[in-house]
Amino acid sequence: MNVAVLGASHGGFTTAADLALAGHTVRLWGRSAEALGPLASAPTITLTAEGRAGAARLARATTDLAEALAGAEIVIAPIPATGHDDLAKRLAPHVNDRQIILLTPGTLGSYAIARELARAGARFPYALAETGTLPYLTRRTGPAAVSAPVRAANLPLGVFPASRTKQTVARLADLFAAVRPCVDALDAALTNAGPVIHPPLVLLNAGAIDGGRFDVHAAGATPSVRRLIDVVDAERVATREGWGYPAPHYELATYYDEGRAAEGLYGAGAKAKLLASGLWSEIVTLQHRYVTEDVAFGLALFESAGRAAGVDTPGVSGLLLTFRALLGRELSGRGRALEHLGLGDFSRREIRAFLDQGWESPIWAKVIR
């Protein structure tokens, strides 16, 4: 299969290498030559990953988006939600109706990008899809090397429009065997573990983080931090239930409790593998995606979706208020909040129908204003 991977990130390098080693034709796009590093002239990535390792030869690594997208059947964007609007503008001249655009993960970005494509007067792809979590827990270990000690065992996948789920899942399962179809894009977005785990880890370890390099997962997940994580996760699950989304809800307890690990996103032994790797000892600031994406986009979505479902989310709202003080800007109602996406005036039933119908919905013209 011809695949374009957009973004020279940890996830971008890993996705490109993994799929190339699996026999797919992969082109990697980076915003700059500096981001691509040696790949610009020698497009080979050394991958060490759960279940796969080797030197992955890419078809091309380029800063020319049109070149990267040429002939692509699947376009994968492992970039933070903060970059989705810019990505939509860049994609607008190049999208065709045979492609599937996949965000890993999305945080309702599948709809957000479709909305921006419409505003730009662009064509739509066949479908936009998004995972509920990262397909890999991974870090770059060199200019052309990546390590992914953990691979997703269950990869929730939502499609926009959801009416095209069956065909989209069939095509993406050739790339990611762990995909698990969700009802729609919001269903997938509400399985995202990032906004559950990362904001408490950052906030309650702020002093240690300010001191420099720190592994929030290995040293920061203390019993007190876990209690806040559990509160936020319970609110997430209650919100999912309020929207009528079925189990599995992929509770965070499945990550921390090895006895339930097989039910979770990353399977048995994931926590031990991540900690043993030592790859997450890093500099974390308030500009890290744990904050700019998981708080400003993820928690904003959780809060607004909870409100729409009549679910109280004091843990989520408290985190948004506290990070508002730290960042000096409003977070509630922004980012991926439903009201910020043009969906605030519609009922749950109307939103569910809209997510199913996508740009063929009778309310499409209203939401893209």
Q: Which CATH number goes with the domain that contains 140?
A: 3.40.50.720
Of the three residues 174, 189, 204, the one that is the final residue of a domain is 189
pLDDT of the residue at 187: 99
Q: Name the residue with tokens 């998004």.
A: 130
Average pLDDT over residues 266-293: 91
Distance CA 206, CA 365 (A): 44
Where among 146, 171, 189 does a domain terminate? 189
Specify the pLDDT at position 70: 94
285 vs 195: CA distance, rounded Å: 16
DSSP string, 84-136: HHHHHHHHTTT--TT-EEEESS-TTHHHHHHHHHHHTTPPP-SEEEEESS-SE
pLDDT at 258: 82
Amino acid present at 36: L
Both 170 and 246 in one domain: the answer is no
Q: CATH number of the domain that 217 lies in?
A: 1.10.1040.10
Domain check: are 320 and 333 in the same one? yes
213 and 175 assigned to the same domain: no
Quickly state the pLDDT bin for 35 (edges 50, 70, 90): very high
Within a domain: residue 365? no
Least confident stretch, 4-13, 155-164, 224-233, 279-288: 279-288
Q: Are residues 116 and 236 in the same domain?
A: no
**pLDDT of 139 higher than 90:** yes
Q: Which of 149, 174, 189 is the last residue of a domain?
A: 189
Residue ranges of E strands in the chain: 2-6, 25-29, 44-49, 52-57, 60-62, 74-77, 100-103, 127-131, 136-142, 145-151, 155-160, 179-181, 214-215, 281-282
Query: Could you tell me the pLDDT band of residue 11, with boundaries at 50, 70 and 90?
Result: very high
User: Looking at the domain assignment, is residue 356 inside a domain?
Assistant: yes
| Residues 205, 225: Cα–Cα separation, whole Å | 9
pLDDT of 268: 87
Judge whether 263 lies within some domain.
yes
| Mean pLDDT confidence for 45-58 | 96
On whether both 257 and 182 belong to a single domain, the answer is no
pLDDT digit string, tens, across residues 296-342: 999 999 999 999 999 999 999 999 999 999 999 999 999 999 999 99
Q: Are 227 and 301 found together in one domain?
A: yes
Same domain, 130 and 266: no
Q: Are residues 44 and 180 in the same domain?
A: yes
153 and 12 belong to one structural domain: yes
**Residue 367 covered by a domain:** no
The whole-number pLDDT of residue 63 equals: 98
For the chain, the domain total comes to 2
* pLDDT value at residue 89: 97
Q: pTM higher than 0.75 for the full model?
A: yes
* pLDDT, tens digit, 9 for 90 and up, residues 169-224: 999 999 999 999 999 999 999 999 999 999 999 999 999 999 999 999 999 999 99
Residue 369's pLDDT band (boundaries 50, 70, 90)? confident
How confident is the model at residue 209, as a pLDDT?
94
pLDDT over threshold 90, residue 259: no
Instruction: Judge whether 88 lies within some domain.
Output: yes
- 22 and 61 assigned to the same domain: yes
With respect to residue 349, please indicate whether it lies within any of the assigned structural domains: yes
The 3-state DSSP class for residue 335 equals: coil
Mean pLDDT for 258-272 is 88
Say which amino acid occupies 242: G
Which of the residue ranges 135-144, 156-165, 267-276, 323-332 would you say has the lowest mean pLDDT?
267-276
Examine the domain organization and report whether 22 and 170 are in the same domain: yes
316: containing domain: 194-360
Given a contact cutoff of 8 angstroms between Cβ atoms, the answer to whether 103 and 185 are in contact is no
Buried-state track 223-239, b at ≥16 Cβ within 10 A, e below 16:
eebbebbbbbbbbbbbb
Gyration radius from the chain CA atoms: 19
| Residue 366 forms part of a structural domain | no
Say if residue 101 is in the same domain as residue 248. Answer: no
**Residue 368 within any structural domain of the chain:** no
Task: Give pLDDT, residue 255.
Answer: 86
Query: Residue 316 and residue 252: Cα distance in Å, rounded?
Result: 15
- The answer to whether 38 and 7 have CB atoms below 8 angstroms apart is no
Six-digit token string for 303? 């809060």
Tracing tokens 């919001």 back to the chain, one arrives at: 186
